[in-house]
Amino acid sequence: MKHLYTIVTVLLNVLFCTALLWYFSRNAYLRPYAGSTMKEIIAGLFLIASLYANYFVLYPKLYKKHFFLYWVSVVASSLVAGCLEVAVGFSFIENWNAAIISEIGYFKYFSKILFCVFGRNIAFNIIPFVIRNIRQLKKEADVKVHVVYQQTRMLDVCDNDNNCRLLDVGNIYYCIKNGNYVHLYTFDNTYYTRYCSLKYLEQLLGSKEFIRISCSILIPFKNIASYNEQEVVMKKMPWVAEPLTFKLDTKNHIQIATVIAEHLQMSKIEENTKGMEEVSAIIQTQRNHSIPPQQKLDEVCSYIQKHPGSRSTDITTYTNFSLSTVERCLSELRKQERIEYVGSKKTGGYHLVKK
- Whether 288 shows a pLDDT value over 60: the answer reads no
pLDDT at 4: 82
pTM exceeds 0.75: no
Pick from 115-119, 252-256, 275-279: least confident: 275-279
| Mean pLDDT value of segment 199-228 | 86
Percent of the chain scored above 90 by pLDDT? 3
Q: How far is CA 239 from the centre of its chain?
A: 35
Buried b (16+ CB within 10 A) or exposed e, 80-109: ebbebbbebbeeebeeebeeebeeeeeeeb
SS3 track for 5-54:
HHHHHHHHHHHHHHHHHHHHHHCCCCCCCCCCHHHHHHHHHHHHHHHHHH
* 3 state DSSP class of 156: strand
CATH number of 294-352: 1.10.10.10
Query: Crossing angle of helices 67-88/37-53, nearest 10°?
Result: 170
* Residue whose C-alpha is closest to residue 310's, from 336, 281, 273, 349: 349
The yes or no reply on domain 155-265 and CATH 2.40.50.1020 is: yes
**CA atoms of 231 and 322, how far apart (whole Å):** 66
| Mean pLDDT value of segment 333-347 | 78
- Whether 333 shows a pLDDT value over 60: the answer reads yes
- Whether 31 shows a pLDDT value over 50: the answer reads yes
Contact criterion met (CB below 8 Å) for 323 and 285: no
pLDDT tier at 283, thresholds 50, 70, 90 = very low
**CA atoms of 247 and 224, how far apart (whole Å):** 13
Residue-range domain boundaries for the chain: 2-147, 155-265, 294-352
| Mean pLDDT value of segment 124-128 | 80
| Mean pLDDT value of segment 306-328 | 78
pLDDT at 209: 84
